[in-house]
Structure 1
Amino acid sequence: MERDEEQPLAGGNVSEGVVRVGDTVRRPVGPWTPAVHALLTHLHEVGFRAAPRPLGIDEQGREVLTYVPGEVVWHGRFSLLEPVRRLAHVARLIREFHDAVRDFTPPPDAQWQVLMPADGSEIIAHQDLAPWNLVVSDQDEWAIIDWDAAAPGTRLGDVAYALHGFIPLSAQPGLQRSDAGERLRIFADAYGLDEAERRQLVPLLSRRTRAMHDFLREQTALGNQPWATLWAEGHGEVWRADAEYIEQREEQWASALLAAR
């Protein structure tokens, strides 16, 4: 690829104007960009390499990030998460991020793109930890992308959202799994949740999922994109059905998480 060649990148819900230039990605900036760059810089400074590195702003006013090679898991490679060792790898990767961000002090003028009310402000959470934001390279290197929605939150909030996508905890045909409880336990063990955190997590699983449905509904009522389009495409119904599926099985999740280890 020539240095000055721009290749549009697609696949995310908010990918308009995102291009690859050589070994970099150029994206539109927002009020949150300086804070996100400070976060990503901190992660690299403390040794967390599974995230893009910010390289500043280009001559067109776009943010510049290192390009993360590989394929998004959600698009054709969900089977990568099938072996339990790989599911455990995701859990450990998320734990490494949460440990790395623990000592991050945001800039005093930090602005974040807060899409939904947080359940606390323990850390700056990713807020969208899911297969569609996990890239795996041919060399089996794993990285988390799309940090624009990072904002104050909690570790358990991040974990609850991640579990919805990575187990997955879904009512959708083709995604619903008979071994969801076992996979939930494997993830929790690999992340290192203690008993108290597991008890707190159970009701949070459905609340975090239903919050996505409510967010899409509210944004659609305001006419905000791309959320209104996602609602029209049926994503709101998917999140609602998944929330009900999770709620109806809370005893199953509690049993799987709290069984004697």
Structure 2
Amino acid sequence: MTRCNEEPLVGGNVSAGVVRVGDTVRRPAGPWTPAVHALLDHLHGVGFHAAPRPLGIDEQGREVLTFVPGVTVWPDHFALMEGLDGVERVARLIREFHDAVQGFAPPPDAPWQVLIPPDRCEIIAHHDLAPWNLVAGDGAWAFIDWDVAAPGSRLWDLAYACQSFIPLSADPAWRRADAAARLSVFADAYGLDEGQRRELVSLLGRRAWSMHDFLRAQAAARHQPWATLWQQGHGDTWRSNAEYIEERQELWARALLDGGRG
């Protein structure tokens, strides 16, 4: 395969070496790749197709995945999430994934890429369910970038997804006056019960702080690309978001516990 056939794919914060070749995507592989491919094979096997299909390893040692056609929602197409129908759709898609992965038996001693320790381990979670990993195609949405999939919980995945899709942001450019209402719709569409809603309230701030603390630790150790992200102010953003979320914890609780259950 010649380099002239490769189209670099950019977006997100960690995309070095990701290219498109025809109807496939080639990405740098790691020790976790076989486990991730087993996960993706399982998802397709049980009928969840909102993820790329793994096609093995190429002659350069890169993982090969099917290309997911469409547009990445963040940042130029976040208008797809403006209405409540977008919030409902992504919440239902995440629920479909979580239900589909419930029966997955990981390979023995699978070396997952664990960046941040989760609250607990009950499923193999995506850990980066966000608009920059959501591709909207003609009639179909799909999540990409599964390389940090690892043991976690439904609510740990959801706490991160709520921050990015609602969004729960301290930035005036992204702060939503209707954030509480959108959070309620998200929980209803996913189908959270009362106990899960109460737990999610406490996890929202904790999940945001986990991102700040991770970036700070990686910057101190001079690990890339995290050190550069810290220098660019991503740590400050997560700290501000965590404080914003915690200051409004009662608001989120009312939205989740007193809002309509749909």
| TM bucket, shorter chain | over 0.9
1:254 corresponds to: 253
Q: How far apart, CA to CA, are the structure 2 residues paired with 1:37 and 1:223?
A: 30
Which aligned pairs between 1:52-91 and structure 2 lie closer than 5 A?
52-91=52-91
1:152 corresponds to: 151
> In 2, are the aligned partners of 1:91 and 1:191 still within 8 Å (CA)?
yes
Q: How far apart, CA to CA, are the structure 1 residues paired with 2:160 and 2:259?
A: 25
What is the Cα deviation at residue 121 of structure 1? 0.8
2:206 corresponds to: 207
1:7 corresponds to: 7
Which aligned pairs between 1:91-240 and structure 2 lie closer than 5 A?
91-137=91-137, 139-240=138-239
Structure 1 stretches of 4+ with a deviation exceeding 3 A read none
> In 1, are the aligned partners of 2:184 and 2:259 still within 8 Å (CA)?
no
Q: How far apart, CA to CA, are the structure 1 residues paired with 2:105 and 2:64?
A: 22
Compare 221-230 and 7-16 and name the one that shifted more: 7-16
SS at match of 2:39: helix
1:21 to 2:29 alignment: no
SS at match of 1:37: helix
Q: How far apart, CA to CA, are the structure 2 residues paired with 1:211 and 1:163?
A: 15
| Residues 58-100 of structure 1: per-residue CA shift (max 9 Å, x gap) | 1111100000011110121101011111110000000000000
Q: How well do the aligned residues superpose, as a CA RMSD in angstroms?
A: 1.3
Letter in 2 for 1:95: R
1:32 corresponds to: 32
- Could you tell me which runs of 5 or more consecutive residues in structure 1 were left unpaired when the two chains were aligned: none
Identity of aligned residues (%): 68
Letter in 2 for 1:98: H
Q: How far apart, CA to CA, are the structure 2 residues paired with 1:140 and 1:230?
A: 34
1:241 corresponds to: 240
SS at match of 2:244: helix
> In 1, are the aligned partners of 2:5 and 2:21 still within 8 Å (CA)?
yes
| Residues 191-220 of structure 1: per-residue CA shift (max 9 Å, x gap) | 000011000010100000110000000000
Q: How far apart, CA to CA, are the structure 1 residues paired with 2:79 and 2:26?
A: 30
SS at match of 2:135: strand
SS at match of 1:11: coil
Instruction: Evaluate the alpha carbon distance shift between residue 161 and residue 260 of structure 1 in structure 2; reply closer, same or farther with a 3 A threshold.
Output: closer
Q: How far apart, CA to CA, are the structure 1 residues paired with 2:161 and 2:46?
A: 23
Q: How far apart, CA to CA, are the structure 1 residues paired with 2:259 and 2:169?
A: 26
> In 2, are the aligned partners of 1:4 and 1:22 still within 8 Å (CA)?
no
Instruction: Evaluate the alpha carbon distance shift between residue 260 and residue 64 of structure 1 in structure 2; reply closer, same or farther with a 3 A threshold.
Output: closer
